[in-house]
Amino acid sequence: MAFGLYLHIPYCKSKCSYCDFYSMGRRTEVPQAYVDALLREMRRFTNCDCTALRPDTLYFGGGTPSLLTPAQVTRLIDEASPVPSAEITLEANPDTVTAESLAGYRKAGVNRLSIGVQSASDRQLALLGRAHTTQTARAAFEMAQKAGFTNISGDIMLALPDYSRTEFDETLSLIAEGGATHISSYLLKIEEKTKFGLHPPKGLPEEDQAADFYLYAVEQFAARGYAQYEISNFAQPGYESRHNMIYWELGDYLGIGPAAYSCMSGERFHYPADLNAFIARTAPVLPDGKTDAEEYIMLQLRLAHGLDLKKLRTGFGLSLNEEQHKKITLYQKAGLCTFSGDVLWLTPKGLLVQNSILTELF
């Protein structure tokens, strides 16, 4: 079973208007004290009974991990001691990378880069609070390829204010022509404590319009050779995110940093969202309970391979009853799912109403 390690980097040059991830804005670098705290916590877990595993995947998430220097990344990777074949991902904002830093990350051992593009519209980027431009994003892909990255992911946000298919097409072209082997695509969600939550932007599409954008995006990704393998993720063959698959398959992963979550041997725990306490070593690790059948079902139905009913029965002792089979037949007729008798898959249309299906069916 693969083991994943996540390192949270909670620093950003500025907070995006839609972002509710735990991070500090107005930062241009990652303090050495924070890197030292990450190293300390990595040793803490390595030296306990929790795990002595070397990670199969290592993920630098944020925040803005590309504010780390290559030397800091090198220290963290060396301490993690991933297996030789490990997937090592670093999230990067286009405005925070240079040819030198990307070459340094690659030399340190990073072999997968995730570039936050979001849109190819400069007007939209400004509204979102992104610090880069379309030109900056295009340059980041060019520099990444020159630095030797062959596994590159690009982010696209859908259903933005006054959104159009033209904007999507231009964004997809920028990412695909930039050499991306993977794409993460998310519908904009207005979170309560964000800038958009306090002051919602005008021009947001209606729910049906947003659904149409999603279905259109799925078709266009497929036309470009990016197969859907999860509700929001698309990849060329062999370039699926190995790290994220650990999450979705309820595997073992350790998250280190404020607001970072973990799951080891079915037990969940997390650090509180308190940067100062994390650095000062006063942040407790808080238990979150055990994984369960409900979580397993939800995650499996997000994935293209679907929910295997034999595994559900073996792992959790659950089988579908006659009433549930009748509902599945209705979902099939509505084009929401495919059912082989042993495996239940949601179609792209079904993924849009996954929560409703889960509520009705389980």
Report the CATH architecture of 305-361. Orthogonal Bundle (1.10)
Encoded tokens for 137: 């994003």
For the entire predicted model, the pTM comes to: 0.96
| 312 vs 100: CA distance, rounded Å | 49
- Per residue in 209-246, pLDDT tens? 999 999 999 999 999 999 999 999 999 999 999 999 99
| 179 vs 173: CA distance, rounded Å | 10
Pairing of strands 182-187, 233-235: antiparallel
CB 256 within 8 A of CB 42: yes
Give residue 1's pLDDT. Answer: 82
**Where do the CATH 3.20.20.70 domains begin and end in the chain?**
3-247
Work out the mean pLDDT of the chain and round it to a whole number: 96
- The CA-CA-CA angle for residues 305, 171, 150, to 5°, reads 65
Report the length, in residues, of the chain: 362
**Where do the CATH 1.10.10 domains begin and end in the chain?**
305-361
DSSP single-letter state for residue 233: E
Any residues with CB less than 8 A from the CB of 103 and at least 6 apart, and which? 70, 147, 148
Give residue 60's pLDDT. Answer: 98
- Domain 3-247 classified CATH 3.20.20.70? yes
Angle between helices 293-300 and 354-361 (to 10 degrees): 140
| 52 vs 81: CA distance, rounded Å | 11
CB 59 within 8 A of CB 4: yes
Give residue 47's pLDDT. Answer: 63
